[in-house]
Copies of this chain bind each other. A is one copy, B any other.
Amino acid sequence: MYSKIIIRYGEIGVKSRDTRRKFESILRNNIKLALKRYNIKGNVKILHRRVLLELDCDNLDRAISILKKVPGVVSFSPSVECSLDMEEIEKTAMEVFLRKVKEVGERTVTFRVKTQRVKKNFSLTSVEINRYIGESILKNFQKNKPEDITLKVDLKNPQITLGIEIIDRVYIFTEVFRGVGGLPVNSQGNVLVLLSDGIDSPVAGFLMMKRGCGTVFLHLKISDEGLEKVKRIYEVLRDYDPTSKLIIFDYKEVLQSIRKSLEEIGKEKYTCIICKRIMLKIAQEYARRFNCEGITTGDSIGQVASQTLRNIYVISEGISYPIFRPLIGLDKVEIMDIAKKIGTYNISTSRDIKCFAVSKHPVTRGKIEEVRELEKYVLNRIGTIKPYLHL
């Protein structure tokens, strides 16, 4: 038997007709790819202001968890489909309703009917349909009275809300699942995301995905343990966009050279600043190659001593690509909440990996001229980073 899931989007709906069509088609494609990643066969159709997923009943639960992670999906409902014929709607509504009453399993059940005419092609108004189907349920339920259950209408806070959506056909449901919201991935340009094994950068990457960006993740590897965590984090993030990429750049020796060069001249307290400047330069190189239109970082303000506005300035100076910092206005608890919700928090916190190069007393107010000089010195000492990377 086949299941149908009716899928709702949000912001796409306020776009011009052409943009909406384009975005609908991207969303449809993303849903297909997400299902394919878990080997689930399904048919995805674009309806009027809705997307419809048809799939084998056995795969329903898995499809639900997958759809919860597709950016652009605001909500969705497994539904029973019928024609616009009022008698058929009545019959189907009763069927769907009885199934849910059984599930609730209580003696007194409160309910309401909530109709939406997504396409205004129906003779009755939503309110008229609500009343008609509500009365029909009350009447026919009384006739059978399964197991002496008492039925009451409650418009405010019912146990069961029977949803009816009228498009070219009719979709009837009792569940509404929330999606991620936002825009479909790849409806906007690409961004390069600097990805570490910590809590912040995966959240930053997710937020850019949610806004429709394609993502190229770049991990600057300094340890095998860190890489292991990053790979697990990336697998979680891929649920939100199976087309995203991960690039590993072996950064350990570079960082060792940075630290050593600065130590020799007694400037090790500049290690973090110079390291991050060089990271951004490498990121910019990859952004160029992978056709990205910005660099995303997990920067926030005031979390640690070196995360000052001044240091953000000194670190990002000289980068011509825009730097997106989606966490800049968020509290640490808010960032952690998102990390938990998207499923990266437990991986990020599973094992604390300290950077070997961090100096005890990092500079909090770096001076731009001195930093430029130090970077020049360090880059000269290192020579070219990888044969193909001329920074």
Interfacial residues, chain A to chain B (CB-CB below 8 A): 10-11, 16, 19, 181-183, 187-191, 204, 207-208, 210-213, 293-294, 300-302, 305, 308-310, 312-313, 316-317, 320-333
Interface residue from B313, B327, B331 paired with A322 (Cβ < 8 Å): B313
Interface residue from B211, B321, B329 paired with A301 (Cβ < 8 Å): B211
* A309 lies within 8 A of B181 (CB): no
* B331 lies within 8 A of A328 (CB): no
* A333 lies within 8 A of B181 (CB): yes
Shortest C-beta distance, A144 to chain B (Å), equals 37
Number of copies: 2
List B contacts of A329 (CB < 8 A).
Answer: 204, 207-208, 210-211, 324, 326-327
* B213 lies within 8 A of A309 (CB): yes
* A189 lies within 8 A of B310 (CB): yes
Interface residue from B190, B208, B328 paired with A211 (Cβ < 8 Å): B328
* B294 lies within 8 A of A188 (CB): no
Say whether, besides A189-B310, A309-B191, A324 and B325 are in contact (CB < 8 Å).
yes
Give bound CA distance, A325 to B333, whole Å: 20
* B293 lies within 8 A of A310 (CB): yes
List B contacts of A181 (CB < 8 A).
Answer: 331, 333
With CB as the reference atom, state the residue of chain B lying closest to A334: B181
Interface residue from B16, B211, B332 paired with A300 (Cβ < 8 Å): B211
Give bound CA distance, A313 to B293, whole Å: 7
Give bound CA distance, A323 to B316, whole Å: 10
Give bound CA distance, A117 to B9, whole Å: 48
Shortest C-beta distance, A277 to chain B (Å), equals 13
* A333 lies within 8 A of B10 (CB): yes
With CB as the reference atom, state the residue of chain B lying closest to A71: B331
A-B contact list, 26 entries, CB within 8 Å: A19-B305, A182-B331, A187-B302, A188-B301, A188-B308, A189-B309, A191-B309, A207-B328, A207-B329, A208-B328, A210-B329, A210-B331, A211-B302, A211-B329, A211-B330, A212-B301, A294-B312, A312-B322, A313-B322, A322-B323, A323-B323, A324-B325, A324-B328, A325-B325, A326-B328, A326-B329
Known: A190-B309, A294-B309. 10 other contacts (CB 8 A): A10-B331, A11-B331, A188-B301, A210-B331, A213-B309, A324-B325, A326-B326, A326-B328, A326-B329, A327-B329
Shortest C-beta distance, A34 to chain B (Å), equals 19
Give bound CA distance, A16 to B207, whole Å: 30
List B contacts of A212 (CB < 8 A).
Answer: 301-302
Shortest C-beta distance, A337 to chain B (Å), equals 12
List B contacts of A189 (CB < 8 A).
Answer: 308-310
Give bound CA distance, A10 to B333, whole Å: 9
Give bound CA distance, A312 to B321, whole Å: 10
* A11 lies within 8 A of B211 (CB): no
Say whether, besides A213-B309, A309-B213, A302 and B11 are in contact (CB < 8 Å).
yes
